[in-house]
Structure 1
Amino acid sequence: MNSLLKSIEIIETIAQQQPIGVSELSKLLKMPKSSVQRVLMTFQEAGWLRQAGTESTRWEIGARVVGVRPSALKGGALQKAARQPMQDLCDLVDETVHLSIPDGTTAMVLIEETECKQVVRTAYTIGNVSPFHATANGLAVLAHMSDTQIDTILGRDLPKYGENTINDPALIREELMRIRERGYSVNLGQYRHAIYAIGAPVFDSNGIVVASVCFSMPGSRFNPENIDEWGSAVRRTANEISGGSLA
């Protein structure tokens, strides 16, 4: 039983800290590296974990998460309400559009994607897990969470994924205020290098944030002069989804 609990703890820690290496996991969990490595390889074979696309071996949650959350991740009212607005946004900006939901205060989970027709484009696997503090979808949701939830998320160790990552809680709180004022979030290569994104929150009929929609692009196509126009477009899309079949 202790072995099982430790394995679950490894999964939960990766979800919170991803991408993370074996040495970091070993220190955080006070476990031998050899034991951590065995668990990682087992979960990788089962599809629960995968190696992140980095130079060093680091780990992140795999797409198997989709299989254990069928009601939230497959064909629900949220996706049905989102598909046409997402397609309309994709046609407008000619970039890939993503819909994500919060997994409690752990991470954001991608549940729907509409790919653009660009030769070079961004694309992720359904079920992909990403952090709140470094993504457009995550920041859009985080800005509208309760104070307790925000304190929980920002009270953790917030990884830096690159030189553009903002992981100072005070600076993130300032950005959350700006997101609430303008209605959309911006990710300027803060999570994946040279990937930029604009996002907006989706609310249920009670005004509770339940998801976020964003579109992302390679940095080569990002034009800062278009941010307000893009932000208005993604905000309209989020409002349309909120007013769909979420009542």
Structure 2
Amino acid sequence: MKSVTRSLRILEAVARHQPVTVGELTKLFGLPKSTVQRTLVTLAEAGWLRANRRDTTRWEIGARVLAVRPAALQGSSLLTAAHEPMVRLRDALNETIHLSVPDALHCMIVVDRVDCDHPVRTFHTIGDTSPLHATAAGRAVLAHLPKQDIDEFSTGALEGYGEQTITDPAELRAELLRVRARGYSVNYNQYRPDVCAVAAPVLDSDGTPLAAVAASMPDSRFDPARTEELGRLVMDTASQITARHLG
């Protein structure tokens, strides 16, 4: 039990001070460096921690923590504000509606979903994570971040998930300008094969993106001629969520 307690305390310390080095944690706890390193590696293997993408000598919270975090959001003001507008959007389109929140510049996390009644539909488990640059929800959020955050994110090559994924940083920055100008983002099979989505950001009072609401559907039901219509509907839903949340 002593080792479990130590692991939990180190996990909590990483959450408070991330991204943090082994040396910093060693000083904080007064433990041997080898003990701290071993604990960090164990937690990383279990998915609770990960190396920082820009500095691999520093540690931060991993995907497993992010996946369980949505459970703590149930009943939060954001989810409460979002649910009814999401249901109305689902009823209008009969497609799956997702609400996702950003984890800094790492990923988007699905925190709520309203299903359609089609036998073939898109599906993300609550807690699923997805890349910012390859999804409609992610680009809707990225487009409303400060320029320095966009520049930091788009430094270097971006991971490709298919032929349609934007992997060139300059191309991504140009797309984000278009997203910000029109108010919504579109995903044409850029993350999962044969899945399309349209998303808009849910903004705080100062314009900070808190989340993104997305309507997603199989490629077989996506009609490019309706893109603007879908964009307006999703933007209207996002505006309703913002108004209810700030209420």
TM-score normalised by the shorter chain: which range applies? 0.7 to 0.9
C-alpha deviation, 1:155, in angstroms: 1.9
C-alpha distance in structure 2 between counterparts of 1:192 and 1:219, whole Å: 10
Residue 54 of structure 1 aligns with which residue? Answer: none
* CA-to-aligned-CA distance 1:97-148 (integer Å, 9 cap, x gap): 0000111111111001000011100111101011100000000000001112
Structure 1 residues 14 and 91, CA gap change in structure 2 (3 angstroms): farther
Q: Tell me how large the CA RMSD over aligned residues is.
A: 2.6
C-alpha distance in structure 2 between counterparts of 1:238 and 1:207, whole Å: 13
C-alpha deviation, 1:195, in angstroms: 0.3
Aligned-residue identity in percent: 41
Residue 223 of structure 2 aligns with which residue? Answer: 223
Q: Which structure's CA Rg is the greater one?
A: 2
C-alpha deviation, 1:207, in angstroms: 2.0
- C-alpha contact (below 8 Å) 1:109/1:130 kept by paired residues: yes
Map 1:33-112 onto structure 2 (within 5 A). 61=63, 65-68=66-69, 70-71=71-72, 73-112=73-112
**Residue identity in the other structure for 1:102:** P
- C-alpha contact (below 8 Å) 2:69/2:127 kept by paired residues: no
SS at match of 1:230: helix
Give TM-score scaled by structure 2 length: 0.76
C-alpha distance in structure 1 between counterparts of 2:42 and 2:240, whole Å: 41
- C-alpha contact (below 8 Å) 1:137/1:212 kept by paired residues: yes
Structure 1 residues 122 and 9, CA gap change in structure 2 (3 angstroms): same
C-alpha deviation, 1:5, in angstroms: 2.3
* CA-to-aligned-CA distance 1:166-201 (integer Å, 9 cap, x gap): 111100111111111111000000000010000000
* Structure 1 unpaired stretches of 5+: 17-27, 31-47, 50-60
Structure 1 residues 85 and 15, CA gap change in structure 2 (3 angstroms): farther
Structure 1 residues 118 and 15, CA gap change in structure 2 (3 angstroms): farther
* Structure 2 unpaired stretches of 5+: 1-35
* CA-to-aligned-CA distance 1:11-50 (integer Å, 9 cap, x gap): 455896xxxxxxxxxxx979xxxxxxxxxxxxxxxxx99x
Structure 1 residues 197 and 238, CA gap change in structure 2 (3 angstroms): same
Map 1:164-179 onto structure 2 (within 5 A). 164-179=164-179
* CA-to-aligned-CA distance 1:191-242 (integer Å, 9 cap, x gap): 0001000000001122211110001000110111000010010010001101
- C-alpha contact (below 8 Å) 1:140/1:201 kept by paired residues: yes
The aligned length equals: 207
- C-alpha contact (below 8 Å) 2:144/2:207 kept by paired residues: no
C-alpha deviation, 1:69, in angstroms: 5.8
Residue 137 of structure 1 aligns with which residue? Answer: 137
**Residue identity in the other structure for 1:216:** S
SS at match of 1:167: coil
- C-alpha contact (below 8 Å) 2:70/2:126 kept by paired residues: no
Residue 2 of structure 1 aligns with which residue? Answer: 37
